[in-house]
Chains A and B, each alone.
Chain A
Amino acid sequence: MILQARGLVRSYGATPALRGVTLGLAEGEILAVTGPSGCGKSTLIHCLAGILRPDAGEVLYLGQRVDTLSEAARSKLRRGAFGVLFQFGQLVAELTAAENVALPLMLAGTGRREARTAALSWLERLGVAELADQRPGEVSGGQQQRVALARALVTEPRVLFADEPTGALDTLAGEQVLGHLVRLAREQGTTVVLVTHEPRIAGYADRELTLRDGVIDATGMGLTDKAVGA
């Protein structure tokens, strides 16, 4: 298992979001987390990615606890081993597409020129090389998500967390982004945790896990024993 969660509990004030979630992911696996609004999908992905600390339970990456790491160590993990892709808003409005993609590499200490070269290569792979010097506000939503995907993958993470990556896109643009995401993940052997509320999107995954009221819905469609028995 590359990533495991054991008995994750997380509340917002008196409102429980996760109530003892346990799961595991094999290397290179694509897992879709589905469920209705407010069921805890985003909280789960935030806990797995080390963005949030669970109130109880543990998250392990390659057998090492993630939830007990310091803020700085978790940040380092997210800009190296983990990639994160949100629904919208993660690109820096003032930076060009190439600079946005180069940012994680520069944060890791890569020189600006080398980082730009790598960024251009990723934009090329995602079919948006011509947008390298455009700002996010100057391109379409689908193109923005492809740039965001390039940024999430530029450090060649071992796990990619995608939280409703097509939620703000039309069907065609959404299909294109997911097509790229799955293709590149397969090519690189990247493990993917994909949060979505659309069953159609979940069809791209190897497995589907349904959350309901903060717990894994054992009666949910597409749930496998592998998902609950981690």
Chain B
Amino acid sequence: MRPSAAVRLALAGTRTDALRVVLTTASGALATVVLLLAVTVLAIPTPGKPGDTSSDSWSRQYRLELLVEPGLRPGVVIALVLLAVPVLVLAGQCGRLGAPARDRRLAAIRMAGATPRQTAMLAATETGVATALGALLGLAGYLAGRVLLHRPDAEGRLLLPTDVPPPWPGIGVVCVGLPLLAMAVTVVLLRRVSFTPFGVVRRTRTRAPRPWPVVLVVAGFGLISLLQPLARWADRRHWTLPVPLFPILLFVAVLLAAVGVVVGTGSVSHAAGRILHRFARRPAALLAARRLMADPWSGSRTFAVLLVCVLFGAGAAAVRAWFASDFATSEEASRWMARAQGQPYVPRDTSFYFDSMDLVNGVVGVATALAAAGMLVAIVEGIVSRRRAYASLVATGVPRGTLARAILWQTFAPVVPAVLVALVAGAALPRGIAGESRAGGGSTQYCVGDWDLCQDPNSPNLRTLEVPTFAHTIPVPFADLAVVGVGALAAVLLVVGAGLLVLRSATSVDELRSA
């Protein structure tokens, strides 16, 4: 098949197909902008000598301190790449829109003589073309945005790195890599799909999910809990551990926990279904329970990204509590020392840390909104794909309210425990590194009067001060965690409510006639 024919056939379809292409294009454009921003941040030139971490290496032309210090930029890049993940997942969910109509079209193309491989490629081509278009639009938008947002303030500082052109290799990787990645993901997702001339057959997994993802979460926690003993062990032997060891171990631990939480959603859904089935007394709960048990994967895929957002949100809340506790403890020690030395206490400016955490919270908020949009698409698609079964139930007298409650149960039964697990995991990970804030301790020397009087180590003006240790347990940020958890559940409730708006049309008696 010629590429032009493949593109024509891939993009042929109804208005729903057009909507799917438009949403995929929009998601691709958004992901391109985010990734190009990440590439640009990586390309910010560092003044001074290579390896210099002093203030000489700072890029002071930016207002945002996270961009000023070279050491903080990898964190910004990671945050931007992570932000692209829910965008891409949203694109994946959009790919499920109008699936029945697309399946019929692909079956007709098979009937006309296309091979299964060609048919699968057509499905992948649609995604690839839409994402490539999105990448081009995203690039155009990014370049236009660079010009529009290049507005230095009164001190000549910039909000974003609009003074740095994104490097061409980076642009190439993003704009070519993203469509290829989208096509590859589509092909992988189609591995359980058989295209036949009579329809598209999806092989669903019938066995219950294995609980092995728990091992990943436990391994993540185990690794985190090893960090403090490892540091103490090395300290006792006066060994200097390699500088990147702790960040790498921390990253691996967070990754293990995050992957465990995401992959474990299938197990959570299945377990929630089993428990619900045991205690279900009403039809809505029974329907939800059986649906969760029959296909725990389809439901769980929809909220996996949301759980990662909760994990990061809870982690950010715990880190903020850690910062606050550390600063409060060191302030307590500093005040004590200033008072003992008879000097005025000058408070330390900690706004940078809290501003950075606000930024992290903002990113988590945006990612949560994107994850919720993906859930909305999945819920609507789930209702539409089961419209005949729902219409039959309504025709036999099942109230739509029962079906709506079943969908609510089906969504919330796994989401509530999974959100709790993600909250606990997210909050516990930073506590694995530090459960207590400490300041002071040991002795320090200070000079009574001018320092010139204390040049001689035996000077009577030189005093030694025994500083007590100030230690506080880092509090669990219950209020912040509640905001994260309730926020996530409220987003899910909103999404289910919006999704249920299509239930009435999906259960119309006309659906009984379109078997």
Q: Which residues of B contact A75 (CB under 8 A)?
A: 394, 397-399
B interface residues, Cβ below 8 angstroms from A: 280-283, 286-287, 290-291, 293-295, 388-389, 392-399, 402, 509, 512-513, 515
Q: Is the CB of B397 within 8 A of A82?
A: yes
Q: Which residues of A contact B291 (CB under 8 A)?
A: 94
Q: Is the CB of A89 within 8 A of B280?
A: no
Q: Which residues of A contact B283 (CB under 8 A)?
A: 103, 106-107
Write the chain A residue with the least CB distance to B287. A92
Q: Which residues of A contact B512 (CB under 8 A)?
A: 42, 46, 51, 86
Give the shortest distance, in Å, between B266 (CB) and chain A (any CB): 16
Q: Is the CB of A80 within 8 A of B397?
A: yes
Contact with B along A56-84 (1 / 0, CB 8 A): 00000000000000001001111110111
Q: Which residues of B contact A16 (CB under 8 A)?
A: none
Bound-state Cα–Cα, A75 to B282, Å:
17
Q: Which residues of B contact A90 (CB under 8 A)?
A: 392-393, 395-396
Query: In this assembly, does A112 line the interface, its C-beta being within 8 Å of a C-beta of chain B?
Result: yes
Give the shortest distance, in Å, between A121 (CB) and chain B (any CB): 19
Interface residues of A in 149-190 (CB under 8 A from B): 151-152
Query: In this assembly, does A99 line the interface, its C-beta being within 8 Å of a C-beta of chain B?
Result: yes
A interface residues, Cβ below 8 angstroms from B: 42, 46, 49, 51-52, 72, 75-80, 82-84, 86-90, 92-96, 99, 103-104, 106-107, 111-112, 135, 151-152
Q: Is the CB of B392 within 8 A of A89?
A: yes
Q: Which residues of B contact A80 (CB under 8 A)?
A: 397
Which 9 A-B pairs rank lowest in CB-CB distance, beginning with the nearest? Answer: A79-B397, A78-B397, A94-B290, A94-B294, A90-B392, A84-B396, A106-B283, A94-B291, A51-B395
Q: Which residues of A contact B394 (CB under 8 A)?
A: 75
Q: How many A-B residue pairs have CB under 8 A?
A: 80
> Per a CB cutoff under 8 Å, which of B286, B392, B402 touches A95?
B286
The answer to whether residues A152 and B396 also contact, given A92-B290, A92-B389, A107-B402 and a CB cut-off of 8 A, is yes
Write the chain A residue with the least CB distance to B279. A112
The answer to whether residues A84 and B509 also contact, given A94-B291, A106-B283 and a CB cut-off of 8 A, is no
Write the chain A residue with the least CB distance to B401. A72
Summarize B's interface: helix, strand, loop or mixed. Answer: helix
Q: Which residues of B contact A111 (CB under 8 A)?
A: 281
Q: Is the CB of A76 within 8 A of B282?
A: no
The answer to whether residues A92 and B509 also contact, given A99-B290, A107-B399 and a CB cut-off of 8 A, is no
Write the chain B residue with the least CB distance to A12. B510
Q: Which residues of B contact A95 (CB under 8 A)?
A: 286-287, 290
Give the shortest distance, in Å, between A114 (CB) and chain B (any CB): 11
Beyond known contacts A95-B290, A103-B398: 12 more, CB 8 A cutoff: A51-B395, A52-B509, A72-B399, A75-B394, A80-B397, A88-B515, A89-B388, A94-B293, A94-B294, A107-B398, A112-B280, A112-B281
Bound-state Cα–Cα, A136 to B409, Å:
22
Q: Which residues of B contact A49 (CB under 8 A)?
A: 395
Give the shortest distance, in Å, between B332 (CB) and chain A (any CB): 59
Bound-state Cα–Cα, A84 to B512, Å:
13
Bound-state Cα–Cα, A87 to B515, Å:
10
Q: Is the CB of A104 within 8 A of B397?
A: yes
Q: Which residues of B contact A52 (CB under 8 A)?
A: 509
> Per a CB cutoff under 8 Å, which of B286, B393, B515 touches A112?
B286
The answer to whether residues A92 and B393 also contact, given A51-B509, A86-B512, A99-B286 and a CB cut-off of 8 A, is yes
Q: Which residues of B contact A79 (CB under 8 A)?
A: 396-398
Bound-state Cα–Cα, A128 to B389, Å:
22
Write the chain A residue with the least CB distance to B392. A90
Give the shortest distance, in Å, between A90 (CB) and chain B (any CB): 4
> Per a CB cutoff under 8 Å, which of A72, A93, A151 touches B294?
A93
Bound-state Cα–Cα, A89 to B283, Å:
18
Bound-state Cα–Cα, A111 to B398, Å:
16
Q: Is the CB of B395 within 8 A of A86?
A: yes
Q: Which residues of B contact A46 (CB under 8 A)?
A: 395, 509, 512
Bound-state Cα–Cα, A26 to B189, Å:
56
Write the chain A residue with the least CB distance to B281. A112
Q: Which residues of B contact A106 (CB under 8 A)?
A: 282-283, 286
Q: Which residues of B contact A96 (CB under 8 A)?
A: 290
Bound-state Cα–Cα, A135 to B287, Å:
13
The answer to whether residues A89 and B515 also contact, given A95-B286, A95-B287, A107-B283 and a CB cut-off of 8 A, is yes
Q: Is the CB of B389 within 8 A of A93?
A: yes
Write the chain B residue with the least CB distance to A107. B283
Max chain A CB contacts within 10 Å: which of B293, B393, B402, B512?
B512
12 contacts between A and B (CB under 8 A): A42-B513, A46-B395, A46-B509, A51-B512, A75-B397, A88-B515, A93-B389, A94-B287, A94-B291, A95-B286, A96-B290, A107-B398
Q: Is the CB of A84 within 8 A of B389?
A: no
Bound-state Cα–Cα, A171 to B509, Å:
28
Give the shortest distance, in Å, between B395 (CB) and chain A (any CB): 5
Q: Which residues of A contact B402 (CB under 8 A)?
A: 107
Q: Which residues of A contact B281 (CB under 8 A)?
A: 111-112
